[in-house]
A = this chain, B = another copy of it.
Amino acid sequence: MTVRRPRVITLLTDFGNQDAYVGIVKGVIAGINPFANIADICHSVPPQDIFSGAYLLYTSYKYFPRKTIHVAVVDPGVGSKRDIVCVETKDYFFLVPDNGLLSFIVQEEKPKSIIRVTNNKYFLPLPSSTFHGRDVFAPVAAHLSLGVKPQQLGIKINQLEQLDIPKPVRKKTGQVEGQIIYIDRFGNLITNITKEHLVKGVEGQKSEDRSQKLENRIKQRKTTLKELFSLCNTIETVIGRKKVVGLSNTYLDVNAGEPLVLFGSAGFLEISINQGNAQKYFRVDRGNKIRVEMGSY
């Protein structure tokens, strides 16, 4: 006999930790599948902030084992006609209100199927109109973890709601302009700028600005980021009226209390203060613009 691996069900909500809502959801799951392994991703998403929920789910989902059931409930439309969907990808199941919570994820994980969840056989009896986390998401997730197939939950649909995720743009001046999309507990300012955007920014520079060597590498699509940066004279990140020069590898590259720019653990350009709080230092908020200027070659 082999003991079956417990299926992981993750929870990401805006329920907070001050009430009993999260506990209730876990009770419902444990009642249906006592062997489910419930893992909290986060419950402190600001109330109704779908964008932050989508970002946090995106940074986490792929670190869980295959077949994990990711349940995300940031759901200002609860009780209305918005759909609840079960999305299956190559490796995961997602159970979410159809309001854009998967907007970041579908950019890199193509849905194999999208099911509108309607089969109330898998709901608690007489579901409330205000707490679908308890009455719909929890029992459906628990049944999925027991082997119910997404197809049994409802009918197939073709499209998901999408949030408008801001993309960095290349300015005429050559700068890459992005924005702060998330600020974490440490005050790190996480932007929407990836390494790829900077590489493209360099590729987009007029060729008279570039060295012949770099020119050839770019033509052959062999440029690595490291090369690019090693060739750069300077990278400057402009945030408000302040400027941070250079790109760091670790927080410790600068002195305590000083600002730095690096690519963070989610793959995005981040502005931080070594042992400090960049949000307080720069007095900025989500949505603030960030410009990155790469020197000539």
CB-based contact A34/B185 at 8 Å: no
Across the interface, which residues of B come within 8 angstroms of A77, CB to CB? 252
CB-based contact A79/B35 at 8 Å: no
Give A68 to B59 CA distance when docked, in angstroms.
Answer: 29
Contact for A20 among B12, B15, B65, CB less than 8 A: B12
Determine if A240 is an interface residue (Cβ-Cβ < 8 Å): no
Give A24 to B252 CA distance when docked, in angstroms.
Answer: 23
Interface size class of chain A, counting residues whose CB lies under 8 Å from the partner chain:
35 or more
Which chain B residue lies CB-closest to A1? Answer: B1
When A30-B65, A34-B65, A252-B80 are in contact, do A185 and B39 touch as well, CB less than 8 Å?
no
Across the interface, which residues of B come within 8 angstroms of A20, CB to CB? 12, 41-42, 56-57, 59-60
Digitize A179-210: 1 where CB-to-B-CB distance is under 8 Å, 0 elsewhere: 00000111000000000000000000000000
Residues of A within 8 A of B (CB): 1, 3, 5-6, 8, 10, 12, 15-24, 26-28, 30-31, 34-35, 37-44, 47-48, 56-57, 59-60, 63-65, 68, 76-80, 128-131, 134-135, 184-186, 249-252, 262, 264-265, 270, 275, 277
Across the interface, which residues of B come within 8 angstroms of A60, CB to CB? 20, 23-24, 27
8 tightest Cβ-Cβ pairs between the two chains A and B? A79-B250, A23-B41, A131-B265, A16-B185, A27-B64, A27-B63, A80-B252, A31-B65
Contact for A42 among B17, B28, B37, B63, CB less than 8 A: B17
Give A251 to B12 CA distance when docked, in angstroms.
Answer: 21
CB-based contact B34/A10 at 8 Å: no
Across the interface, which residues of B come within 8 angstroms of A270, CB to CB? 130
Contact for A30 among B21, B44, B64, B186, CB less than 8 A: B64
Across the interface, which residues of B come within 8 angstroms of A27, CB to CB? 8, 10, 39, 41, 60, 63-65, 68
When A10-B23, A12-B20, A265-B134 are in contact, do A37 and B47 touch as well, CB less than 8 Å?
no
Which chain B residue lies CB-closest to A188? Answer: B130
Across the interface, which residues of B come within 8 angstroms of A79, CB to CB? 249-252
8 contacts between A and B (CB under 8 A): A8-B34, A10-B23, A18-B44, A27-B60, A27-B65, A63-B134, A77-B252, A80-B251
Give A15 to B249 CA distance when docked, in angstroms.
Answer: 20
Give A233 to B42 CA distance when docked, in angstroms.
Answer: 44
Give A237 to B146 CA distance when docked, in angstroms.
Answer: 44
Across the interface, which residues of B come within 8 angstroms of A252, CB to CB? 77, 79-80
Across the interface, which residues of B come within 8 angstroms of A250, CB to CB? 78-80, 129-130
CB-based contact A23/B42 at 8 Å: yes
